[in-house]
Amino acid sequence: MTLDELIDFYESLTPERVARFAEFYADDAWFKDPFNEVRGVEAIQRIFTHMFTQVEMPRFVVGERIVDAGGAVLIWEFCFRSARLGGGGTQLLRGVSHLRFAPDGRVCYHRDYWDTGEELYMKLPLLGGLWRGLRRLLAA
C-alpha cells in the first residue's frame, strides 16, 4: 500500500468501498477524531459506514501531504450535504489527519484534527447562535 493509494481510497470512498479498510489499516489500528476513539479495522469501518447514514454525498479531498519515514500528515477538506446543517446545502469541513504506518505499510495510527466549533457547531441552527455569541464574548 502506498500513500497515493490510501489517498485515492479516501477520495473515492463509497459505502461499498468501506469493506476495503483492511487493505489499508492494520488489524489493531487505532483511530481517533473529535467524536470517536476506537481500535481495530471493524470499529473504524463502523465509523465510516455511519458517516454515510448521517450525511449525503460525502467526499474527501486531500490538498496537501507532509511525509517522513514513519508517517504522514494529510490536510483535507470534507464536503457533504446535510438537511440538519444549512438546510441541506453543501457543507465544507477542513481538517488534518496524522498517520503512522506499521512495518507492512498499513496505517496503525490515525488521528483526525478538526475544529468542531467552527466547522460544525456554528452551522447548527440553535447551537450556532450560542456558539457565535460565546466566540464574540471570548475574542480579543
- Residue 125 forms part of a structural domain: no
Residue 133 domain-assigned (yes or no):
no
Does residue 26 sit within a domain? Answer: yes
Into how many domains does the chain fold? 1
pLDDT tens digits, 29-72 = 999 999 999 999 999 999 999 999 988 999 999 999 999 988 99
- Residue 83: CB atoms within 10 Å: 10
Position 134 in a domain: no
What is the pTM assigned to this prediction? 0.83
DSSP output for 104-115: TSSEEEEEEE--
pLDDT of amino acid 139: 65
Domain holding 98: CATH number?
3.10.450.50
| Residue 104 Cα distances to 20, 26, 79, angstroms | 16, 8, 31
- Structural domain span for residue 9: 3-114
The overall average pLDDT reported for the chain is 88
